[in-house]
Chains A and B, each alone.
Chain A
Amino acid sequence: MGIEVNGKTLEVDEEGYLADLNQWEPGVADIMAKLDDTTLTDAHWEVINFLREYYEEYQIAPAVRVLTKAIGKKLGADKGNSKYLYELFPYGPAKQACKYAGLPKPTGCV
């Protein structure tokens, strides 16, 4: 399976997660969002960029509650709650946002 991004075909797994994290570019998130009938706004990008930074530092995708808490600390309490994050990413902030960010599926996501 693959997705077309800027003329290149990038491999994804059966759930749509990017096979190789290093192939990620912003266009990947845009294309994945389009497949979900979503248009990414600055608010989405704030979370996507946060996830990429988190992964860079800790080498894992955070569990949803860890993400929520950390977003609250970094971007303010009005954003650090599941209501806000689920509105942005209705398929689940950890799963959907991680996917757009090119990260593997979070450990502990059941």
Chain B
Amino acid sequence: MAEPWEEEEGPVKKFMFVNRKAPYGTIYALESLEVVLISAAFDQDVSLVFMDDGVYQIKKGQDSKGIGMKNFSPTYRALEGYDIEKLFVEKESMESRGLTAEDMIVPVEILSKDELTSLMEEQDVILTF
């Protein structure tokens, strides 16, 4: 028996979520993640970009017990189960922060600023947080 979500066929748009803020200091990172999880219910072509301070959202080894806030970084690893597998990190942002792909909690594709610009041009909807 097919599941209900396998039967529906609507128009598929390319949605890109651009994450530009560090986690914890503001609510943007967590809010963006919530919107991404909800968007997964609509079977769209979703991609995530981490650029500027947004690259810090997926830094490995976060432990927020000491500041009394929830560590939501493990949730990025759940995205694969939501069929959200296109995760991009802007090379320039990562390098200026002394980070490498190895520092990321999830597998990501590293794109240069110019490659990212082209990818943005292809999107139907871009939501920046």
Contact = CB atoms under 8 A, between A and B. Distances in A.
A and B touch in the complex (CB under 8 A): yes
Contact of A81 (B3, B74, B77, B78): B3
Interface residues of A, number: 17
Contacts of A75: none
B71 interface: yes
B79 to A, nearest CB: 9
A23 interface: no
Contact of A58 (B5, B70, B78): B78
A83 interface: yes
Interface in A90-110: 107-108, 110
Given A108-B37, A108-B38, A60 B75 contact: yes
Interface residues of B, number: 18
A44 interface: no
Interface stretch (A9-17, A24-32, A66-74): A66-74
Interface in B76-99: 77-78, 81-82
Nearest to A56: B74
A107 B74 contact: no
A58 B37 CA distance: 12
B40 A58 contact: no
Contacts of A65: 3, 5, 41
Contacts of A59: 70-72, 74-75
Please give me the 3 A-B residue pairs with the lowest Cβ-Cβ distance, nearest first: A58-B78, A108-B38, A107-B37
Given A68-B3, A107-B37, A108-B38, 5 more contacts: A57-B78, A58-B75, A65-B3, A69-B81, A70-B81
